[in-house]
Amino acid sequence: MRNLIKIKENPKQRRRGLVNWNLRDNLKFEARIRLKLSNGGWECLSFIVKKDMNAFSAALHEYLNLIFKQTESKYLIASADIPVQELPIIKNIKSSLLFGKTPLELKELDAFLKLYPNHDSLFIGPKIIGQLTDESEILKLKNIQISPQFGWNLLEVFTGRNIRLSEAEVITEAKITEIIRKWMASEKLQNLESLEFRFYMQNILPENVVESLETERFNPAVRPQVYHYDPKLVYIMPEDINLSGDNCYDVIRESDGKRATLYFDSQSFKLLVWN
């Protein structure tokens, strides 16, 4: 991590009045800083600009874009509780993580994705409320983690590559079978590379999921033993998964012979498509 702006303070000075600042050469302003003493030293609690906050924000955004070159891909970690109009204008954001304590309205998510139009990956922590439409910006994403209630509806129209549903209490064995069957019949998820459901205290039995499906067991002459799983999401690390065990079943897509492996463990289900 590197410092973008460094400020020297006098810790003996208790009262801090307005101070003149220069942000590069294009903006001069007055601001007041509030500090607190912590274990690591003095921390800035707030930075209060006396006037023209919009001009200050615009200059700061320009400064950040000069530091983080426009040609470089970047990711953003942001609170969904902050109004979109207060977020920094940073170009070439490709991936983001949205966290928050309150539900996120779909119209706010649309506004967020319009502010950063180059997104292809998004990790969404809060529950989403709203009605999915053909114009929803979320449909343009290639890689996504999302809450299960909204995510189940998204699965019906998802054309991206990687989708992950966390704490999927709405997922049942019958629903997993339905999704697999639709993939095998090329009815849904035709561009899929990986699908993951993270369970929420369910007892999902693999034999119940696959009992009505045509499956194959691992054959080293047909496919590799290890799958490199990378859902291309912020904070989700790639991993190599052994797909040769009794908890693995292969299925074939009828239209093109594409192979996928169904992988079960105590916490999740994955559908992993082979290249």
pLDDT of residue 88: 76
Backbone angles phi, psi at 32, to 5 degrees: -120, 140
DSSP 84: G
DSSP letter for each residue of 219-255: -TTTS-SEEEE----TT---EEEE--STTEEEEE-TT
The reply to whether 18 falls in a domain is yes
How many structural domains does the chain have?
1
Is it the case that residue 209 has pLDDT exceeding 80?
A: yes
* Weakest-pLDDT range from 36-45, 88-97, 221-230: 36-45
The reply to whether 188 falls in a domain is no
pLDDT of residue 7: 45
The reply to whether 180 falls in a domain is no
The reply to whether 39 falls in a domain is yes
How many CB atoms sit inside 10 A of residue 253's CB?
A: 17
pLDDT of residue 4: 45
Question: Domain span at residue 30?
Answer: 11-67
pLDDT of residue 258: 97
Backbone angles phi, psi at 176, to 5 degrees: -65, -45
The reply to whether 17 falls in a domain is yes
pLDDT of residue 112: 96
The reply to whether 21 falls in a domain is yes
Is it the case that residue 10 has pLDDT exceeding 60?
A: no
pLDDT of residue 1: 43
- CA–CA distance, 60 with 68 (Å, rounded to integer): 12
- CA–CA distance, 70 with 67 (Å, rounded to integer): 9
The reply to whether 16 falls in a domain is yes
Mean pLDDT confidence for 127-156: 92
The reply to whether 257 falls in a domain is no
User: What pTM, to 2 d.p., does this model score?
Assistant: 0.78
pLDDT of residue 41: 67
